Amino acid sequence: MDKDGFNNLISKIRTSIGDEASALNSEDFLGVISAYNSLYDEKDARDEEISKLKTTNEELLKTNGKLFMQIGFNDPTPSSVDERLPQPEKKISIDEIIDEKGGFR
């Protein structure tokens, strides 16, 4: 139900209950109308934000696709040992560093 339809419904209720009851319930009607209008405006703002986010998401997907086409897709499983990975260091024993006399080699 849009705002005009809601306002028409409230007017119809006011006329059907009569002037005296309508006057007694006037503040209640105004509160309901105000709350409805606030929620309706908030819904419109969120719908607009959702639309903007969908558009932005589509643009990002296109841009990411173009970037992947430029750089290509890399196979995530390595086929051989990567040279950039640090190689395990060779362990050196004390005998290799110190000679029989206690000096360094």
Whether 40 contacts 48, CB under 8 Å: no
Give the domain ranges of the chain: 3-71
Task: Say what the pTM is.
Answer: 0.49
Fill in the DSSP letter of residue 99.
-
- Phi, psi at 98, each rounded to 5°: -110, 130
pLDDT per residue as tens, the chain (105 positions): 788 888 888 888 888 888 777 778 888 888 888 999 999 999 999 999 999 999 999 999 999 998 888 887 665 565 555 566 666 777 888 877 888 887 877
